[in-house]
Amino acid sequence: VCSSDLRPCPRPGRVPGPECLLRRTGLARMGESDPWLRRIERDTVRACLAMAVLAWFLARGAFRAPLGVLAGGALVAISYRGIKGGIDAVGRVGDGQRGRVRQAIGLVKFFTRYGILSAAAYVIIVRLALPPVPVVAGASSLVVAVTVEALRYLSGGSRQK
């Protein structure tokens, strides 16, 4: 089952929808209750996939450009989860020493993710030699999703899903 509406993921060999990809990448595990953030998460995956397809067409079937877009999308997913986890760790209210230990562990995870993020960016750009422009395009998929949501809100068409 992929999302909160309990629709099953497609069978193997079929293309999964954004909700399935969110669950498989771990973004859906965040258990987000805010419908705006859920839409932004889904739109981020959609934007990244659309840019990867566009990169594939522009590169005339070469795989490095769309792979760079997807790698940039992975970087933004790691960053998003790190920021969200850090905010959740700071925002948790615990009782006494146990709560402070939980907060400290959450903050260590937050800063560790940035180390992982920088190592992943190094591997993507230097070791895999993926083109940097598609990587930046993939990393900007969150910006595209937030822009789409802002335009929805400003046009009065912000719908609850």
Query: How sure is the predictor about 94, in pLDDT bands with cuts at 50, 70 and 90?
Result: low
Note the Cα 155 to chain centre separation in Å. Answer: 25
Report, as an integer, the average pLDDT of 31-52. 88
* Cα 7 to Cα 99: distance, rounded to the nearest angstrom: 37
Q: Which of 45-49, 131-135, 148-152, 157-161 has the lowest mean pLDDT?
A: 157-161
* Cα 139 to Cα 134: distance, rounded to the nearest angstrom: 8
3-state secondary structure of 34: coil
Position 87 pLDDT exceeds 90:
no
**Cα–Cα–Cα angle for 9, 10, 16, nearest 5°?**
80
Position 128 pLDDT exceeds 60:
yes
Residues 6+ apart with CB under 8 A from 57: none
Q: Would you state the pLDDT for residue 107?
A: 77
Position 76 pLDDT exceeds 70:
yes
